[in-house]
Homo-oligomer: A and B are copies of this chain.
Amino acid sequence: MAEKIIDPWGSELVEDYEKIVKDFGLEIFDCKIFPHPNKIMRRGVVFAGRDLKQIANAIKSKKKFYVLSGIMPSADKIHFGNKMVVENMRYFQEQGAEAYILVADLESAAARGVSLKEAKERALNFHIPAFIALGLDPKKTKFYFQSENIKVTHLASETSKKVTASEFKAIYGSLEPGRIYSAFTQVGDILYPQLKERMPGIIPVGIDQDPHIRLTRDIVRRTKDKYKFFAPSSLYHKYTPSLDGGLKMSKSKPESCIELPEDPKQVCKKLLRAKTGGRDTVEEQKKLGGEPEKCIIFELYKQHLVEDDKELDKIYKNCKAGKLLCGEDKKNCCELMTNFMDDLIKKIEQAKKEVKDLEFIR
């Protein structure tokens, strides 16, 4: 069973998304379930979920539901995973969801030694503006800091009694007290929007965060008669691969990682060395065509840089046909990436001015 455990605090790579879907009993994501799916939904970057029907129904029947995600202010940069989460949050906002963003300052203080004061400054000066820059609509979003929301503590304390040690261990593979404490804080976060009014909610996350979803869903099921919470739905996206072809970008390999934001010139240098689906020689590539499904540059287009499906399709076909060679393609990618970064940096600066007008739940 140990191999089935995903560690939300670790950096284990998910090598086989299909296996994950099967082992964890996830639903394979079919973008037809939602109206007007966004690009990562349409392109299979969003690959799985839990209980998506209740969200689809809420959208369809215009019933209340929520979408929730968190900011971890221990990091001083965000990454492409955050970008996809924001993209999905934006999508559900547009479909009528109440959006919640929590700043996990308790977690970053406890696990990373970032003081609550520092965490607050970072969140206000960078993370929240960056989320807004990436597309979150601040006017339709409720923000809070874990350290200021005692109701989250109420939920955490109460739900902590509903799970045995062996159940917890089966989900997390660990019984370290610090992990247990913070897991229940996350359960509190996930259920918090339902305190005033019970409603379905969806949590877009990386697959490494699934244990928190499972724990919360187990607790909701177990306390159904008493609390009548809706079990949270969840939505999983694939990782953005490392530029050298590894399954997940990670700061531990800075040459294969693009930070958000990062100086475009530096990024373009990194792109030059990225793994592609090119053949050994130009002649061969012109003859056989490239292999975009193995190409990190193409993956960047698909996940992040190319909005229009037709344009993406054109790149794909030109590559396959041997018409688009890797050198030219990397130049194109560099241009798109530069536009993206310039735009992001500008939008973050703009968003910083909006932060002072935000209201935080206490």
- Which residues on A are within 8 Å of B, measured CB to CB? 106-107, 109-111, 116, 147-150, 153-154, 156-158, 160-165, 168, 174-178, 180-185
Chain B proximity of A196: nearest CB distance (Å): 15
Task: List 18 other contacts, CB 8 Å, given A164-B177, A175-B175.
Answer: A109-B154, A109-B157, A109-B158, A110-B157, A110-B158, A110-B161, A147-B153, A149-B150, A157-B182, A160-B177, A160-B180, A160-B181, A161-B177, A162-B178, A165-B176, A177-B183, A177-B184, A180-B180
User: Smallest CB-CB separation from A160: which chain B residue?
Assistant: B181
> Within 8 Å CB of A178, what residues of B?
160-163
Partner of A150, one of B148, B163, B168: B148
A167's closest neighbor in chain B, by CB? Answer: B177
From B107, B174, B175, B180, contact of A181 by CB (8 A): B180
A231 to B157, CA, bound (A): 25
B160 contacts A110, CB within 8 Å? yes
A333 to B183, CA, bound (A): 53
Complex contact A106–B153 (CB within 8 A): yes
Residues of B with C-beta under 8 A to A109 = 154, 157-158
Question: Taking A150-B147, A150-B150, A150-B153 as contacts, is the C-beta distance between A164 and B181 under 8 angstroms?
Answer: no
Within 8 Å CB of A182, what residues of B?
Answer: 157, 160
Complex CA distance for A332 and B318, rounded to whole angstroms: 104
CB distance from A142 to the nearest CB of B (A): 18
Query: Chain B residues near A183 (CB, 8 Å)?
Result: 177
Specify how many copies of this chain sit in the oligomer. Answer: 2
* Nearest 7 A/B pairs, CB to CB: A160-B181, A161-B178, A106-B157, A165-B175, A153-B153, A160-B178, A110-B161
Of B111, B160, B174, B185, the residue contacting A161 (CB under 8 A) is: B111
Which residues of chain B come closer than 8 Å to A156, judged between CB atoms?
181
- Nearest Cβ in chain B — how far from A332, in angstroms? 46
Contacts of A168 in B (CB 8 A): 177
- List the B side residues contacting A160 at CB < 8 Å: 110, 177-178, 180-182
Contacts of A110 on B, CB cut-off 8 Å? 157-158, 160-161
Report how far A350 CA is from B161 CA in the complex, Å.
37
Identify A157's interface contact among B163, B165, B175, B181, CB under 8 A.
Answer: B181
Give CA–CA (A228, B51) in the complex, Å.
48
Q: Which residue of B lies closest to A169 (CB)?
A: B175
With a cutoff of 8 Å between Cβ atoms, the chain B residues found around residue A165 in the complex are 174-177
Residue ID in chain B nearest A154 by CB atoms: B147
Looking at the assembled complex, report how far the CB atom of A160 sits from the nearest CB atom of chain B, in whole angstroms: 4
In the bound complex, how far is the Cα of B154 from the Cα of A179, in angstroms?
Answer: 15
Most buried by B among A111, A157, A185: A157
